[in-house]
Each structure stands twice: as C-alpha cells, then as structure tokens.
Structure 1
Amino acid sequence: MHRLALACVCALALSGCAGLAGRDPLGVQVAGIEPLQGQGMELRMLVKLRVQNPNDTPVDYDGVALELDLNGNRFATGVSDARGTVPRFGETVLGVPVSVSALGALRQALGLASGSRLDNIPYTLRGKLSGGVAGTTRFSDKGALSLPGYP
C-alpha cells in the first residue's frame, strides 16, 4: 500500500514538473537607476527592473537578489524582500536597493579616468526571483548604460 501511494505521489510530481517545462523565460531589463542615501564610504542605488511575463499563467515571487557588473567588473549587489505577482502576459517594475563597495567604486573610477567613455558603459545583470509554484526563476540581462546628462 505504501509503495502504491509513493508511486502516485512521484507520478503527480513528475507530471507537474513536465507542465512547467513549456514555460518561456521571464524578460528582465534595467528600467532605471536612482541614487539612494549611503553610509560612510558605501554608495547605494535603487535599480529598477522591468519584469515581463510572456506566459499564460501569473508568476508569484517572494524576494529578489541581483548582481550588477560594469565594464566586466563586479560593481554592485543587492537583495529585496519584495513580494508580488507578475501577471500573465503582463509586466511589473521592481525596485532593488544595491550597495557599491568602496573597492568597486574605485575600480570603476580608475577605469573611467583611463579614457573610458561615459556613454554606452557595458553592463551585465544577473539575479533571481524567489518563490512561487515554479520555485526560483533566474534571469540575466546585458546592455549599455549612459550617465544622465552625457551628450
């Protein structure tokens, strides 16, 4: 009897996982970056992420973590305990506060001083949305950022 119950539970679990395999990945892009109040030598920023769900079922999340690289170097990391839902065939904007270490800021300043341009700075964003029925959803985005006011 126990073996039959175990076999049924396994079959249900596998069929549930098979249904999730057809999901398209979430689209995540940097929608903006705003300065926040820092402490000591630490820089703080609010990274706004636009999360798009191209699937016919909503995606629930309970927590966000991200890493931001500029010019191929680690620049900032952050987490948020934000909770919500990305609607089916919809989108939402999440704000994640990030910290920039003094070393990361110095590395970027030295790179800019050595002749790097202030427009089209290449970035790589990696992170995850935690929670929901499907578990953790990982994402990444690459692009270029320009500093405000740069011609």
Structure 2
Amino acid sequence: MALARRITLIALLLALGACSSLFGTRDPLRIDLVGLEPATGQGMEARFTVKLRVQNPNDQAIDYNGIALDLSVNGQPLASGVSDASGQVPRFGEKVISVPVSISAFSAFRQAWGLSGGPPRQGMPYEINGKLAGGLFGTVRFSDKGVLNWPEPVARP
C-alpha cells in the first residue's frame, strides 16, 4: 500500500511539472499607443478608435479573442473600451489592434476642469491598462505609460 502511495505521489508531481512547463514564463508584451482617431458618438459621449501596436518578444504566438482597455490622462480615468476582435500576434512579431473607446461627458468635463486650473501644459501623462483575452490560461494583461505632446504652433511670418 505504501508503494502505491509513493508511485501515485511521484506521478502527481511529474504531472504538475509537465503542466507548469506548458505555461512557462513569458516576457511581457510591449504595447505602444500609435493612434487616436475620432469616431461617431451618441448624445453627450465622445468616441475614438485607439490604435495599439502590440509587440510579442516571445518564441510562441499569442492568440487573442477580445480586448479591453482603460485610458487615464493626468492620473484621471478618461476612456474605456472593448472589442471582440480576434487574431494572433506572431512570435517575435507585432500587430496593430484597433479598439473603440467611449469618453463620457463627465470624464471630458473633469479633464477640461483640471486643465483650466493653471498654465497650459505641453505634455500630459497617460496610462493604458488592459487585457488580451485568450481563453482559460491565455489572457495577457498589459499596460503602457507615456506623455501626450501637442504639436507646437507654427509661427507665421
């Protein structure tokens, strides 16, 4: 009986080791905000299409079936969006993914109020947090931070 328990324990440990090798460690995805285009909104909301460049520095492709993201500007929530887009980010490759986002009138008002309190800023910090859905063990979370810089006004002669 003791031999059977030992064999069962060894088999269980081997199975757990095999499972962990299937889901080995991956390097995090690199996400960059590459575009923000206006879209048609309804009522008092504003809509945009956020374009993200997703780079996969891993040796296995990442399949996804849906994406969700939240966008904050100046430390305040601004927009959120979801898409049921599906596809694959190739191994050691990249893909641009478009996600429609909504900005509520309250969020836009809060941002405008925050900007009106002082001198105009050249750069506004932003942060994107989200996830690429990929099934039970395939969901990949991501984040990106940066500064939105407005173009300098062109001086007229």
Report if TM-score (shorter chain) is over 0.5. yes
1:116 Cα deviation from its structure 2 partner: 5.2
Question: Does residue 1:117 correspond to 2:120, yes or no?
Answer: yes
Q: One-letter code of the match for 2:105? A: A
TM-score (norm 2): 0.83
CA distance in 2, matches of 1:146, 1:44: 20
2:116 corresponds to which letter in structure 1? A
Which whole-Å CA distance do the structure 2 matches of 1:118 and 1:39 have between them? 29
SS in 2 for 1:56: coil
SS at match of 2:49: strand
Question: % of aligned pairs identical?
Answer: 52
Instruction: Please identify the structure whose Cα radius of gyration is greater.
Output: 2
For residue 141 of structure 2, what is the amino acid of its counterpart? R
Structure 1 gap segments, 5+ residues each:
none
Amino acid at match of 1:54: P
Look up the SS of the partner of 1:138 in the other structure.
strand
Q: Does 1:57 align with 2:60?
A: yes
CA positional deviation for 1:89: 0.3
Determine the structure 2 residue equivalent to 1:25: 28
Q: Please tell me the root mean square deviation across aligned C-alpha atoms, in Å.
A: 2.4
Correspondent of 1:96 among 95, 99, 102: 99
Unaligned runs of 5+ in 2: none
Equivalent position to 2:43, from 40, 46, 53:
40
Distance in structure 1 (CA, Å) of the matches to 2:18 and 2:53 = 31
Change (3 A) 1:9 1:41: farther
- Of 135-144 and 19-28, deviating more is 19-28
Paired AA for residue 120 in structure 2: R
Q: Deviations over 1:103-140 (max 9, x none)?
A: 10000111122225353110011000001574210001
1:73 to 68, 76, 83: 76
| Corresponding pairs, count | 148
- Indicate which of 113, 129, 132 corresponds to 1:129: 132
Partners in 2 of 1:13 and 1:133 — Cα distance? 17
In 2, the alpha carbon distance for the partners of 1:60 and 1:99 equals 25
Distance 1:132 1:92, change over 3 A: farther
For residues 44 and 51 of structure 1, what CA distance do their matches in structure 2 show?
22
The 3-state SS of whatever aligns with 1:115 is: coil
